[in-house]
A and B are shown apart, each in its own frame.
Chain A
């Protein structure tokens, strides 16, 4: 299974943009890049996913490097509710879906 590397923790001020990086240098051509987040004492929730092109949705944007060896989750205006652990996951198929330890995001009021 392809590996991802994320910083253990990051901080952001409220209402400022946040860029959460993920390195995946061994990604294969069929691996999708998924992002999930886990709020305290809750199950993970889907944030965004992509394959090659940058993606936007109501929650966030996903910027994928041209060589696909890294990606960045962008939260455009961090709120206190965005404080969570963010997981970057590679998945070639629906079943092969492995969580790492993620990045713990702290939002400072």
Chain B
């Protein structure tokens, strides 16, 4: 049982390039989330999904797109990367209950130059 995994672990992009971050979970969780964490800050919610084929905006969605084509995968896309998107990105998943706690992945460190 691998839990929540993220690919890649590190990436450096030039301004304007695009990329996709992959999150996978093997716990059959309904909910999945993408967060970003800037230095010295807490996590901020980018997008989330309440089930296969659904997505919704979080606190800071601009500049990102997401897709949940399979229940176990949640993709985060940057169409045209900007230096302001330099951050550590965390994926999480949870069961479908009010008190469900989130399982987090190890993070992807993205630098945009």
Does residue B102 face the partner (Cβ distance < 8 Å to A)?
yes
Does residue B1 face the partner (Cβ distance < 8 Å to A)?
no
Please, how many angstroms separate the alpha-carbon atoms of A43 and B89 in the complex? 9
Q: Which residue of B lies closest to A46 (CB)?
A: B101
Q: Is the CB of A95 within 8 A of B106?
A: no
Q: Is the CB of B59 within 8 A of A43?
A: no
Q: Is the CB of A49 within 8 A of B42?
A: no
User: Which of B42, B90, B98, B105 lies in contact with A94, CB distance below 8 A?
Assistant: B98
Q: Is the CB of B105 within 8 A of A98?
A: no
Task: Report chain A residues within 8 Å CB of B92.
Answer: 43-44
Task: Report chain A residues within 8 Å CB of B44.
Answer: 98-99
Q: Is the CB of A44 within 8 A of B104?
A: yes
Q: Is the CB of B106 within 8 A of A94?
A: no
Q: Is the CB of A42 within 8 A of B42?
A: no
Q: Is the CB of A100 within 8 A of B101?
A: no
Q: Is the CB of B41 within 8 A of A101?
A: yes
Please, how many angstroms separate the alpha-carbon atoms of A82 and B20 in the complex? 34
B77 to chain A: closest CB distance in Å? 20
Task: Report chain A residues within 8 Å CB of B105.
Answer: 43
A70 to chain B: closest CB distance in Å? 19
Contact with B along A27-47 (1 / 0, CB 8 A): 000001010100001111110
Q: Is the CB of B59 within 8 A of A98?
A: yes
Chain A residues within CB distance 8 Å of chain B: 32, 34, 36, 41-46, 49, 87, 93-95, 97-102
**Can you name 8 A-B residue pairings with CB atoms under 8 Å?**
A36-B101, A42-B107, A44-B90, A44-B102, A44-B104, A94-B94, A95-B50, A98-B44
Beyond the given A32-B99, A36-B102, please list 17 additional residue pairs across the A-B interface where CB-CB is below 8 A: A32-B98, A34-B101, A36-B101, A43-B104, A43-B106, A44-B92, A44-B104, A93-B98, A94-B100, A95-B31, A95-B48, A95-B50, A95-B56, A98-B59, A99-B35, A99-B43, A99-B44
Chain B residues within CB distance 8 Å of chain A: 4, 31, 35, 40-45, 48, 50, 56, 59, 90, 92, 94, 96-107
